[in-house]
Structure formats: C-alpha cells, structure tokens
Amino acid sequence: MYGVEFDSVSSVLFLADLALRSTLLITFAKRHFINSLEFKMIIPVRCFSCGKVIGNLWDSYLELLAAGVDEGDALDRLQLKRYCCRRMVLTHVDLIEKLLMYNPLSRDR
C-alpha cells in the first residue's frame, strides 16, 4: 500500500499507535473545548455598524452590572459613546447556554 510494505507486526503496531493518538486527541479536544464553551459567551467581536472592537468589553460590562452599576453608566465607563456600539452590548442575547442543552457531551455532567 502506497509503495511501502509492512510486515504484520509493524502494521499492527502502527495501527495501534494511530488509534491511541486519535483517542488521546479526541479526549483532549472534548475536555478542552467543552470546558471552555461552558463559561464563555458568543459575543460579536466588532460592532456591525462601525467596526469598533467590542468583544473584549463584555466581561468588564458584566462585572460592572454585578457591582450594581446602571447599564447606561456601565457603557459610559467602558467608553462606548456611539449608539451602534451600545446597541451591540445592550441587545446581546446569551444563546450559548441554550445551545449547550443540545450538546450530548455537556449533558452527561
């Protein structure tokens, strides 16, 4: 096959090694990506209208709201002056929790 001949022992070892690496990679990916999705939100990185980067402000916005700051004041503190950027943050809906209900990997926990 492919111009390389294997004897039966080396081909069995090759396939076993390949299967082990695949299993380890899949296990790592499930743990890493599922855990990261459980605590992250899907928020647009940029404002759809003006293109200003707003994705990095989401955590700060939530911290300000948790501290009891009003929404408008929180947006002012984050220096979001344009109404298009304010709209992006104010009207963002958290769908990740609803989407994770349909993920069989996260339901087992």
The CATH number of residue 64's host domain is 1.10.10.60
Judgement on whether residues 53 and 33 belong to the same structural domain of the protein: no
Selected residue with higher pLDDT from 41 and 36: 41
Contact 80, 90 (CB under 8 A): no
So what's the pLDDT on residue 82?
Answer: 95
Looking at the structure of the chain, the number of domains it has is 2
pLDDT band at residue 26 under the 50/70/90 scheme:
low
Q: Is residue 108 part of a domain?
A: no
User: Distance between CA atoms of 84 and 69, rounded to whole angstroms?
Assistant: 21
Closest alpha carbon to 42 in 101, 83, 81, 100: 100
Structural domain contains residue 73: yes
Count Cα neighbours of 66 within 13 Å in the Cβ-side half-sphere.
6
Is residue 72 in a domain? yes
Q: Give domain status of residue 29, yes or no.
A: yes
- State which residues form the domain around 32: 1-41
Specify if 12 maps to a domain. Answer: yes
| Cα 42 to Cα 96: distance, rounded to the nearest angstrom | 7
Q: Residue 72's pLDDT band (boundaries 50, 70, 90)?
A: very high
- 103, part of any domain: no
Whether 52 has a pLDDT exceeding 90, the answer reads yes
Q: According to the model, what pLDDT value does residue 38 have?
A: 47
Whether the model clears a pTM of 0.75, i.e. scores above it, the answer is no
Q: Where are the alpha helices (DSSP H) in 68-108?
A: 71-77, 83-90, 96-100, 104-107
One-letter identity of residue 91: T
- Of 8-12, 34-38, 63-67, least confident by mean pLDDT is 34-38
